[in-house]
Structures are given as structure tokens and as C-alpha cells.
Amino acid sequence: MNLEGLEMIAVLIVIVLFVKLLEQFGLIEAGLEDSVEDELEMATVRHRPEALELLEAQSKFTKKELQILYRGFKNECPSGVVNEETFKEIYSQFFPQGDSTTYAHFLFNAFDTDHNGAVSFEDFIKGLSILLRGTVQEKLNWAFNLYDINKDGYITKEEMLDIMKAIYDMMGKCTYPVLKEDAPRQHVETFFQKMDKNKDGVVTIDEFIESCQKDENIMRSMQLFENVI
């Protein structure tokens, strides 16, 4: 896998992992069009989700879809929330040949929007709605937030290097040809040459979205994940 391939992974791997997470919950196999007779059994969990009507208004899922999603979420997370360690355990199953700990940490922080150390069903649904059914701009905004580690509105070379190293560690030895040790840093330089339009050493949200939208490979790959469920 060359640097261009790693660049696509950096933008799209979140969506791939979410599809795998849905498979883990058994939601893709069940199909969201299946009928649901029972309502949410909210009394059995510690964290109670917001009213379905509110979540329906805030997401691109129907009430019936939300019921099925919640059933799968509750089966895997009886407490009603997911902590960071659970995130790491889930993704370690998908990348046993590498170390996904750091990337799972970054991904968890992107979903934990209120920074309370837990991802609730509401957090899960809002992120899932964007990644699977959001517009291209919404997905790219979400990806930018993931890479903007300190949430100051800019992606620095140091932040992008941390992300690239995390992806490199997660992929392990499954890349061919095997990437050299300096591949993450080379990728960061390539990334900034393409996206840092005014050469000020940081990438803004506008620069990030504009560059991604001009990349046909990224746009084509994003379309493949539309309406996965």
C-alpha cells in the first residue's frame, strides 16, 4: 500500500470500522426493515436514551430503525454506554495483526462529544447517522473533527502524524509492500502539500473539505458506503 492508499484509509477507515461494528451487533444481518413489535426496554439499563422522536428528528433514521439499533446496542452494552476500553477491545478483534489501541482512542474521543468518558446510544446514533447517511460535507466535517485532536479548529503536522502512526500501527504487517518506518511522516508531508493551500503550516476545515472533494477516489469510495443499512 502506497502513500496515496494510506491517505484514502485516513479518510474512510472510520466508516469501514463502523460497518464492522454493526456486524458485531448483528444489525446488518437482521436488516433495519424487519418489523419490531416491542418498544425500547429502557428500564433495564442504567443510561436511558432520549425520546425516540427526538433522536429521529436529530438523525436520518426512522423510529423503527432506531428501535432495532437500540436493541443491538443494548445487547452488546447492557449498561447503555460504551467506555473506551470496550472500544479498544472491539477494534482489536478487527486488527489482530496490529495494535489498534491508539486509533481506537482517537475514534472514541470523536464519538464522546461531551467528553465524559462514555459513548451513549445518542452519541452512537448521531455519529452513525453522519457516517452512513450524511452528506459528503457532513462526513468530511466528522473526519476533520477526528483528526483535529485538540479541537482548536486546525490540523497540525503533529496531529496528522499521530493519526498516521496510529493507522500504521493498526494495519500491522497486512500492507503490501510493507511500509517503511518513515512512511507516516512522508504521508504527512504529502498530505500538507495537497491540503495546506496557503502554506501556513496548518490545515483548516475549508482546506480539508476542498481537497477531499477534489479527490475522485475519496468521493467514489464514500459513495460505496451510502445506505449500508
pLDDT tens-place string over residues 76-92? 778 888 889 988 887 78
The residue segments making up the domain with residue 213 are 135-228
Higher pLDDT, 201 or 78: 201
- Does one domain contain both 158 and 218? yes
Asked if residue 8 has pLDDT above 80, the reply is: no
206 & 155 share domain: yes
Asked if 184 and 164 count as a contact pair (C-beta separation under 8 A), the reply is yes
142 and 126 part of one domain:
no
The backbone torsions φ and ψ at residue 142, rounded to the nearest 5 degrees and listed phi first, read -65, -45
Last residue of a domain, one of 73, 103, 133: 133
Q: Is the pLDDT of residue 24 over 70?
A: no
Q: Whole-model pTM?
A: 0.74
Is a pLDDT exceeding 60 seen at residue 162? Answer: yes
Q: Answer with the residue of higher pLDDT: 136 or 77.
A: 136
Identify the three-state secondary structure at position 116.
coil
Residues 103 and 141 in one domain: no
Is residue 6 very low, low, confident or very high in pLDDT (cuts 50, 70, 90)?
very low
pLDDT, mean of residues 116-126: 88
Tally of domains in the chain: 2
Q: Is the model more confident about 210 or about 26?
A: 210
Q: Based on the fold, state whether residues 82 and 108 are members of the same structural domain.
A: yes
Task: Tell which of 133, 153, 188 closes a domain.
Answer: 133
Q: Is residue 81 part of a domain?
A: yes
Please indicate, yes or no, if residue 3 is contained in any of the structural domains: no
Q: Kindly report the CATH number assigned to the domain that includes residue 155.
A: 1.10.238.10
C-alpha cell at 174: 497486512
Mean pLDDT score of the chain, rounded to an integer?
Answer: 76
Query: Of 133, 160, 194, at which residue does a domain stop?
Result: 133
Find how far residue 67's CA is from the centre of its chain. Answer: 22
Residue 189 C-alpha cell reads as: 508531508
Rounded mean pLDDT, 164-183: 72
